[in-house]
Structure 1
């Protein structure tokens, strides 16, 4: 499997979040992702539950690092710090993740989540541990 194929795989959680890979920056480390928040994502206030917003940001921060890793490596999130700035309403979102720094064992990334009007809904900073990719046979 190529790196591009790996980055575009839609695991079940990506499908649940309505994730679409819009762009991958494999030079600098980055990813732009679209998401569709369904009515089932609503909390008691009628806005998107914070854990689902965090999941969208987790995907963007992870893919930002995956974009620069060799095929034989992957990464797992060890810390995700999310700041909620505005209520997220049911519908479309765009997340942009960027690689901040990386060494042999860890990567740090950041991401922003915006609504269709471009309003910043939430931000995140993540630390990820780089590991060897397990090949499922």
Structure 2
């Protein structure tokens, strides 16, 4: 993991409450985990006073994810002044990918009170 270069690993625990009736984790929860992996990969590289909301998130589900620990890996693919392209994967306990994602984020300057923080704690 290298936050300064825009790569990150994040662990999640997918509990049974997020499983569908056949016992696999719902896709919406997996998409949220991927978004929460890709975004911090970029946000950790931004200077104070900037943040980067996700404009587009595309998720591909590769195989069922069971309740338990999942590992998210995210990275910056290409970064411009205002737009950034991100990619990542969500790995099951066996190390095999259960879902992959790409995203586009827009780098913005924070203005005013109540704006989101621009740094991620390591």
Instruction: State the TM-score, normalizing by the size of structure 1.
Output: 0.79
The equivalences for 1:105-116 within 5 A come to: 105-116=82-93
* Residue of structure 1 equivalent to 2:120: none
CA distance in 2, matches of 1:71, 1:36: 30
CA distance in 2, matches of 1:109, 1:39: 29
* Residue of structure 1 equivalent to 2:114: 136
Q: Which deviations, in whole Å up to 9, do the C-alpha atoms of 1:87-114 show, x marking residues without a partner? A: 0000100000000011111111101100
Question: 1:31·1:67 contact (CA, 8 Å) conserved in 2?
Answer: no
* Residue of structure 1 equivalent to 2:68: 91
Higher relative contact order (CA 8 A, sep 6+): 2
The equivalences for 1:8-27 within 5 A come to: 23=1, 25-27=2-4
CA distance in 1, matches of 2:87, 2:110: 22
* Residue of structure 2 equivalent to 1:61: 38
Give aligned pairs, total.
114
Q: CA RMSD in A?
A: 1.4
List structure 1 runs of 4+ shifted beyond 4 angstroms. Answer: none
Question: 1:75·1:128 contact (CA, 8 Å) conserved in 2?
Answer: yes
